[in-house]
C-alpha cells in the first residue's frame, strides 16, 4: 500500500487500461514501454475471460483475441514478473471478473501487482489491496460497505452502463464522488467514457484524483500507430497536469 501512496502522492494520476498480451505478447510490451516513457502512472491490466459481460465491444474483442492466441496462467505470471522488474515505478492494477481470479490463480501472484479490481461485485478479500467500483445508483450503505475493503483508490464510473461509449461523457460521477468525499479520504479516479482531452480536464476540475482511460486507448492501439498512442497519452497527461495546476 505504501508503494501506491508514495508514487501517486501530490499528483493527479493517469490510469490507462490494456488487456494482457493484447494484441500479442510482444506488442503488449511495446505499448507498455510507450506508456512508461510518456507519463502513465497506473497500468490497469485486463485479464482475458470468455464472457466479459460488463465490457463494451471494443474491450470484449481484446479478451477474445488474447484467448485465441492461447493466453494462460503461465503467460500471465511471466508478464507480471517482467513488468515488475522492467517498470518498477509503474503501478499495476489487475482488472478481472471472479472467474478470472480463480482461473488464473491471481491471489498467488499478488506480489507482482499493486491492486485488484473485480467489476461484477465488491471484493472482501484480506491481505490484498483492493479497488471497488462505485456509481450513482448505489445507496450510502452499499458505498460504506465497499469502502471498508477498498485500500487503493475508489473507481467511480461516470455513469451506469458498459465501457466503451463514444458519446458525451455522463456527469453523474460528481454525485457519487461527493458522497464518497463526505465519508472517506480515499483517492478517487473516474472512468467510463473518458475519451477526449475535454473529458479529462472536466474530471480533474471536478476535484477527482485521477482519470481512467480504457476503450479509447484500445482504439488507438488498434490503429497500429505508435505515434497515435504517444500523442493520445501526452494530450491526456498534459490536460490533467494543466487542470491540476490552475
Query: What contacts 24+ positions apart, CB below 8 Å, involve 118-122?
Result: 119/54, 119/55, 119/95, 120/53, 120/54, 122/146, 122/149
pLDDT in tens, 116-162: 999 998 999 888 999 999 999 999 999 999 999 998 899 999 987 64
Q: Cell numbers of 86, please?
A: 522492467
pLDDT at 245: 74
φ/ψ bin of 63: left (φ > 0), alpha (ψ from -120 to 50), beta (otherwise): alpha
pLDDT at 3: 63
pLDDT at 164: 47
pTM (2 decimals)? 0.94
pLDDT at position 7 over 80 = no
CA angle 76, 78, 81 (to 5 degrees): 105
Rg (CA), the chain: 17
Residues in the chain: 246
Residue 59's φ and ψ, nearest 5 degrees, are: -75, -35
CA angle 194, 199, 204 (to 5 degrees): 105
Q: How confident is the model at residue 2 (pLDDT cuts 50, 70, 90)?
A: low
Kindly list the domain boundaries of the chain, sorted by start residue: 2-244
- For the ranges 4-18, 26-40, 61-75, 112-126, the lowest mean pLDDT is seen at 4-18
CA angle 183, 45, 74 (to 5 degrees): 130
Q: Assign domain 2-244 to a CATH class.
A: alpha beta
Q: How confident is the model at residue 108 (pLDDT cuts 50, 70, 90)?
A: very high
The set of residues, in sequence order, having a beta carbon less than 8 Å from that of 112 and lying 6+ positions away, is 77, 80, 81, 83, 84, 92
Amino acid at each position: 500500500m505504501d508503494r501506491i501512496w508514495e508514487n501517486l502522492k501530490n499528483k493527479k494520476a493517469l490510469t490507462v487500461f490494456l488487456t494482457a498480451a493484447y494484441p500479442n505478447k510482444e506488442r503488449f510490451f511495446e505499448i507498455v514501454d510507450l506508456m512508461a516513457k510518456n507519463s502513465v502512472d497506473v497500468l490497469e491490466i485486463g485479464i482475458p475471460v470468455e464472457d466479459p459481460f460488463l465490457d463494451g465491444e471494443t474491450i470484449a474483442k481484446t479478451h477474445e483475441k488474447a484467448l485465441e492466441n492461447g493466453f494462460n496462467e503461465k503467460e500471465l505470471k511471466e508478464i507480471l514478473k517482467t513488468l515488475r522488474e522492467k517498470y518498477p515505478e509503474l503501478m499495476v492494477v489487475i482488472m478481472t471478473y471472479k472467474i478470472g481470479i480463480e482461473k488464473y490463480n491471481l491471489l498467488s501472484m499478488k506480489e507482482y501487482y499493486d491492486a485488484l479490481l473485480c467489476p461484477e461485485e465488491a471484493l472482501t478479500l484480506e491481505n490484498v489491496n483492493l479497488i471497488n467500483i462505485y456509481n450513482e445508483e448505489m445507496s450510502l450503505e452499499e458505498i460504506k460497505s465497499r469502502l471498508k475493503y477498498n485500500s487503493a483508490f475508489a473507481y467511480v464510473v461516470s455513469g451506469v452502463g458498459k465501457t466503451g461509449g463514444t458519446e458525451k461523457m455522463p456527469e453523474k460521477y460528481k454525485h457519487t464522488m461527493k458522497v464518497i468525499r463526505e465519508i472517506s479520504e480515499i483517492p478517487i479516479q473516474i472512468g467510463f467514457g473518458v475519451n477526449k482531452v475535454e473529458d479529462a480536464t472536466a474530471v480533474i476540475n471536478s476535484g477527482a484524483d485521477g482519470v481512467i482511460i480504457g476503450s479509447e486507448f484500445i482504439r488507438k492501439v488498434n490503429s497500429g500507430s505508435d505515434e497515435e498512442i504517444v500523442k493520445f497519452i501526452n494530450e491526456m497527461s498534459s490536460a490533467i497536469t494543466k487542470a491540476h495546476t490552475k
